[in-house]
Copies of this chain bind each other. A is one copy, B any other.
Amino acid sequence: MNTTIAPRINMAADGPAFSRIVLGLWRLASWQMTPQERVSFLEQALELGVTTLDQADIYGDYQSETLLGEALHIAPGLRQRFQFVSKCGIRLVSPQRPAHSIQHYDTSREHIIASAEQSLRAMQIETLDLLLIHRPDPLMDADEIAAAFTQLRESGKVRHFGVSNFTPSQFALLASRVPLVTNQIELSLLQMQALTDGTLDLCQRERIVPMIWSALAGGRLLTQEPTASPQLQRVQQVLQQIAAELSLPVSTVALAWVLQHPSRPVVLTGSGRLAAVREAVQACTQVLSRENWFRLWTASAGRSVD
């Protein structure tokens, strides 16, 4: 076992420095850890250089931030060693939010501020390093969001702002009013759309670093039966070939494929197993040959490049 450490990268010209591998906590509630086990897991992640934690108000049916807060309460020194990311803008129908009658978006100034403040309370921290609008809201008023962001920054509650799942057009709209340091988007060998629909072009052009969710396609690249789809079968086969050739775990190869994009993305890992985090970190130092990168692209696309 090597001792690779996740490197750090500046997310934008005036953005925060994040670890290339980010610990995604959307399944934290399902990991069934005691508060002390959560502390241990966080400490082990730190030893791998994984210093950035990704949350959202709604994760774990509005419970994930609280679970993290319990860990930070019993190990308060951890707060200084992590960067904290959270999101807002979705209202779920949930026993936790009995007032909600329909799942909807809310990017009003009041909701953004209240949600960020609730995230701080739940996580028992004083400042978010980054707050994202979780989904593009058709009722998004860019001036109103900018006002909310400005108020949160001036009050010291949030340092930087970004978006998630935004099209280039939606990003350009909000960025015309307030600086954004990232767009958190989906990219994997089973979902390559961001390569061609302009999303990653815009990141590179604006010199902002994308955050990638579902880089292992929700784990399907590793664990789903290859018979699920011809695409999955092709991709798994080539992944296994390359992994064997390079003596690397399959997940490391799949994540290296994503990390190699010239926008220099940071990648979320959503696993509660330290071995999985370690395989992700290992991907940060692997550079696939162009031939291997395109063997995987070709397997995913089901055709050669033009």
Contact = CB atoms under 8 A, between A and B. Distances in A.
Interface of A: 90, 100-106, 108, 135-136, 138-142, 144, 165, 167-170, 172-173, 176, 192, 195-198, 201-202, 204-205, 260-262, 290-291, 293-295, 297-298, 304-306
Count copies of this chain in the complex. 3
B105 A305 contact: yes
Nearest to A106: B290
A142 B204 contact: yes
Interface hub of A103, A108, A290 (most chain B Cβ within 10 A):
A290
Contact of A167 (B103, B142, B173, B196): B196
Given A195-B138, A262-B144, A306-B135, A102 B204 contact: no
Contact of A139 (B135, B165, B290): B290
B260 A204 contact: no
A105 B173 CA distance: 31
Contacts of A197: 169
Given A291-B102, A294-B105, A262 B139 contact: yes
Contacts of A100: 291
B169 A168 contact: yes
Contacts of A172: 201, 205
A112 to B, nearest CB: 13
A98 to B, nearest CB: 13
A165 to B, nearest CB: 7
B293 A139 contact: yes
A28 B108 CA distance: 41
Contacts of A144: 262
A297 B102 CA distance: 11
A305 to B, nearest CB: 6
A201 B169 contact: yes
B135 A170 contact: no
Given A102-B298, A172-B205, 14 more contacts: A104-B290, A104-B294, A106-B290, A135-B306, A136-B196, A138-B195, A138-B196, A139-B290, A141-B204, A142-B262, A167-B201, A169-B197, A170-B201, A176-B205
Contacts of A204: 141-142, 173
Contacts of A304: 102-103
A102 B301 CA distance: 14
Nearest to A137: B305
